[in-house]
């Protein structure tokens, strides 16, 4: 399984938001608002600013602002360090806002590197539930 | 699909074997006798399935007196657990909260 050691993957989640980009931008960049939907933080909208996102589960993510274009793009690193390398996650999260007639198209891409895919942080149960669903699908396809 | 995937899927493709594995996952460590009582197949058949599961690294056996206790090894499923699918679920639920927040910001 040495090939998985260098695998880079990304996840994209998109949503149509019925609010204008300017308002969505505030929710993405003001610390007290970020805390309401994502995690507690000491974010500042300054390229190069290092900050932490603190999860309810006790984990702390190390982040650094990479790019900012007001009302359009926000990008920061999203790293989770763990003594066991298998739990590490080094990734970059990029939010892209595109105005639409009804509001904003929000696109989030997280691209990352994981030395091993043992377990995502705090997500063992979700992964486990998903496993059986995935298994059923794969089995259905192979039959 | 890697060889690791093939091995896991082949091992779990048998419904009886999968049922035994699921029971170990849900109920924790069990003896062959306890598993046989719930499986609807003979004890030798259960033992054979456990042997295949053990070869795939999906179960571990522990001897205590005359009894052998089997437990599920969830780490063996690691090749199937992709962090991206977990993160997708994470972001979907965060965006639900984001939309709630945006509604409140209107007021």
Put simply, the chain B residues between 33 and 72 with a CB less than 8 A from any chain A CB are: none
- Are A126 and B86 inside 8 Å of each other by CB? yes
A120 and B83 Cβ atoms separated by less than 8 Å? yes
Q: Which residue has the higher pLDDT, A58 or B31?
A: B31
Q: Which residue has the higher pLDDT, B89 or B41?
A: B41
Q: With CA atoms as reference, report the closest residue to A108 among A29, A16, A22, A12.
A: A12
Quote the pLDDT of residue A87. 64
Average pLDDT over residues B74-85: 69
Quote the pLDDT of residue A121. 39
Is residue B76's pLDDT more than 70? yes
State ipTM: 0.72
What is the average pLDDT value for chain B, to the nearest integer?
85
Put simply, the chain A residues between 38 and 97 with a CB less than 8 A from any chain B CB are: 38, 89
Q: With CA atoms as reference, report the closest residue to A115 among B83, B4, B89, B8.
A: B83
Quote the pLDDT of residue A107. 94
Quote the pLDDT of residue A116. 53
How far apart, in whole angstroms, are the C-alpha atoms of residue A142 and residue B13? 10
Q: From residue B87, give the alpha-carbon distance in Å to each of A32, A37, A117, A124, B76.
A: 23, 15, 13, 11, 21
Quote the pLDDT of residue A97. 96
- Are A11 and B91 inside 8 Å of each other by CB? yes
Query: Considering only CB atoms, which chain B residues are within 8 Å of A106?
Result: 95
| pTM for the model | 0.59
Is residue B82's pLDDT more than 70? no
Class of residue A111 by CB neighbours under 10 A (exposed 0-12, middle 13-18, buried 19+) = middle
Helix-helix angle B32-39:B43-55, to 10 degrees: 110
Nearest CA in chain A to B12: A135
- Are B85 and A127 inside 8 Å of each other by CB? yes
Q: Which residue has the higher pLDDT, A9 or B59?
A: B59
Quote the pLDDT of residue B46. 95
Quote the pLDDT of residue B2. 54
- One digit per residue, pLDDT tens: chain A, 143 residues? 334 444 567 888 899 999 999 999 999 999 999 999 999 999 999 999 999 999 877 778 999 999 999 999 999 999 988 766 656 788 899 999 999 999 999 999 988 866 554 444 334 434 444 544 544 454 455 44
| The pair of three-digit structure tokens given for residue A66, joined into one six-digit string | 């990479």
How far apart, in whole angstroms, are the C-alpha atoms of residue A16 and residue A36? 19
Quote the pLDDT of residue B84. 72
- Are B97 and A117 inside 8 Å of each other by CB? no
- Are B86 and A108 inside 8 Å of each other by CB? no
pLDDT band at residue B69 under the 50/70/90 scheme: very high
**A114 lies within 8 A of chain B by CB:** yes
Quote the pLDDT of residue B13. 86
Q: From residue A66, give the alpha-carbon distance in Å to each of A5, A43, B6, B66.
A: 25, 12, 40, 61
Q: From residue A115, give the alpha-carbon distance in Å to each of A3, A53, A78, A110.
A: 10, 22, 15, 16
């Amino acid at each position: 399984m040495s090939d998985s050691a260098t695998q880079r993957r990304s996840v994209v989640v998109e949503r149509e938001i019925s609010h204008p980009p300017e308002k969505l931008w505030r929710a993405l960049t003001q610390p007290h608002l970020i805390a309401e939907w994502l995690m507690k933080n000491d974010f500042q909208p300054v390229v190069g600013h290092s900050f932490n996102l603190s999860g309810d589960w006790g984990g702390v993510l190390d982040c650094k602002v990479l790019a900012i274009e007001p009302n359009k793009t926000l990008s920061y690193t999203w790293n989770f360090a763990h003594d066991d390398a298998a739990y590490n996650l080094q990734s970059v999260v990029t939010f892209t806002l595109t105005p639409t007639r009804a509001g904003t198209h929000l696109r989030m891409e997280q691209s990352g590197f994981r030395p091993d895919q043992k377990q995502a942080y705090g997500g063992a149960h979700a992964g486990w539930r998903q496993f059986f669903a995935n298994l059923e699908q794969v089995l259905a396809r192979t039959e | 699909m890697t060889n690791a995937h093939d091995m896991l899927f082949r091992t779990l493709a048998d419904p009886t074997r999968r049922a035994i594995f699921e029971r170990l996952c849900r109920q924790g460590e069990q003896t062959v006798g306890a598993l046989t009582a719930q499986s609807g197949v003979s004890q030798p058949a259960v033992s054979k399935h456990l042997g295949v599961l053990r070869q795939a690294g999906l179960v571990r056996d522990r001897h205590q007196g005359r009894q052998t206790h089997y437990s599920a090894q969830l780490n063996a499923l690691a090749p199937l657990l992709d962090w991206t699918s977990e993160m997708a679920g994470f972001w979907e639920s965060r965006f639900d909260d984001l939309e709630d927040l945006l509604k409140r910001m209107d007021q």
